[in-house]
């Protein structure tokens, strides 16, 4: 649900940003454990029932004006560059809805020696200008078991563009071992690599339980396994 019309004035709709005042780590995927800053974009083009950031899109529960602010590229860059942390994670919601307006921010951060990771649901192909050294994509296609409508969440052309980019890791959320067969089908059909599997869970106990339930089978398939480090380390504290 896109909600309010997107902005034509070069500003970005942001839900939150964190990691400067209270430091944290990239909690998921190939860069897990690295110090990171986070810019969480507002708005999503999917409506997963398992979503843990519904404040970015669910206007049945939240008021858009209360959970998002307009920020300029200059404000966001000044904030990010006030920290020495090298990795800036741009997440959401779905950040690539706003990728045109993110381009100048990406350019400025790269020029200042930062690296950028996009956390994306893989439904919107990346702008060619984002396919440059220093930018990577953690592409997380959403499954039916996560409460996604796969007729909308699996977009073959977008997945093909990410797979061809050489800059993507495919990070699937698993709610349990029953998801691994569906992940394998998608991996084979869309030739996705490298494959990362991440346990669902917003408590340390849930993350550990799901990790134990899936780890053997993820290993047997020779896939990568990631945790949710911020959930283990900080529980579900906001801004971490
Ligand atoms: N520490 C931390 N790492 C993260 N990696 C991806 C996140 C996200 O919400 O997309 C996230 C997050 O919310 N916190
Ligand atoms: S794609 Fe991600 S942000 Fe969007 S509804 Fe699904 S889980 Fe939430
Ligand atoms: Mg999160």
pLDDT tens for each residue of the chain, 240 residues long: 444 556 667 899 999 999 999 999 999 999 999 999 999 999 999 999 999 999 999 999 999 999 999 999 999 999 999 999 999 999 999 999 999 999 999 999 999 999 999 999 999 999 999 999 999 999 999 999 999 999 999 999 999 999 999 999 999 999 999 999 999 999 999 999 999 999 999 999 999 999 999 999 999 999 999 999 999 999 878 899
Indicate if ligand 2 lies below 6 Å from the C-beta of 44: yes
**DSSP-derived secondary structure for 169-237:** EEEEEESSTTHHHHHHHHHHHHT--SEEEEE--SSHHHHHHHHHHHHHHHHHTT-EE---HHHHHHTT-
Q: Where are the domains of the chain?
A: 12-234
Q: Kindly provide the ipTM of the predicted complex, given to two decimals.
A: 0.98
Query: How far, in Å, from the CA of 26 to the mean position of ligand 1?
Result: 6
Minimum-distance ligand 2 atom for the alpha carbon of 148: 6
What is the reported pLDDT for 3?
47
Binding-site residues, in ranges, read: 25-27, 40, 44, 48, 51, 53, 91, 93, 140-142
- Which is the closest atom of ligand 2 to the Cα of 56? 3
Q: What count of other Cβ atoms lies within 10 Å of the Cβ of residue 128?
A: 9
210 lines ligand 2 (CB under 6 A): no
Annotation: binding site for S-adenosyl-L-methionine: 93, 140-142
Pocket lining for ligand 1, CB < 6 angstroms: 24-28, 38, 89, 91, 119, 230, 240
Report strand pairing: 35-41 vs 12-18.
antiparallel
Asked if residue 186 has its Cβ within 6 Å of ligand 2, the reply is no
Evaluate the omega torsion of the peptide bond into residue 194 and state whether it is cis, within 30 degrees of 0.
Answer: yes
CATH superfamily, with its number, for domain 12-234: Aldolase class I (3.20.20.70)
Q: Are 153 and 124 in contact (CB under 8 A)?
A: no
pTM score of the predicted model:
0.96
């Amino acid at each position: 649900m896109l909600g309010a019309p997107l902005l034509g004035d070069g500003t970005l709709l942001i839900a939150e940003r964190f990691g400067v005042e209270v430091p944290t780590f990239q909690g998921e995927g190939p860069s897990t454990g690295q110090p990171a800053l986070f810019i969480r974009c507002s708005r999503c083009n999917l409506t997963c029932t398992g979503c843990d950031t519904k404040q970015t899109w669910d206007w049945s529960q939240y008021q858009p004006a209360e959970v998002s602010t307009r920020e300029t590229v200059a404000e966001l860059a000044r904030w990010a560059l006030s920290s020495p942390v090298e990795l800036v994670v741009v997440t959401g919601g779905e950040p690539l809805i706003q990728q045109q307006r993110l381009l100048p921010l990406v350019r400025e951060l790269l020029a200042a020696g930062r690296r950028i990771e996009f956390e994306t649901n893989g439904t919107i192909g990346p702008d060619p200008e984002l396919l440059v050294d220093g930018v990577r994509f953690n592409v997380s296609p959403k499954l039916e078991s996560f409460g996604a409508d796969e007729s909308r969440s699996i977009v073959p052309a977008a997945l093909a563009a990410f797979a061809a980019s050489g800059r993507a890791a495919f990070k699937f959320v698993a709610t349990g071992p029953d998801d691994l067969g569906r992940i394998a089908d998608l991996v084979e059909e869309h030739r996705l690599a490298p494959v990362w599997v991440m346990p669902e869970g917003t408590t340390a106990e849930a993350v550990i339980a799901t990790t134990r339930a899936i780890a053997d089978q993820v290993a047997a398939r020779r896939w990568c396994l990631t945790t949710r480090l911020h959930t283990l380390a900080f529980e579900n504290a906001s801004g971490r």
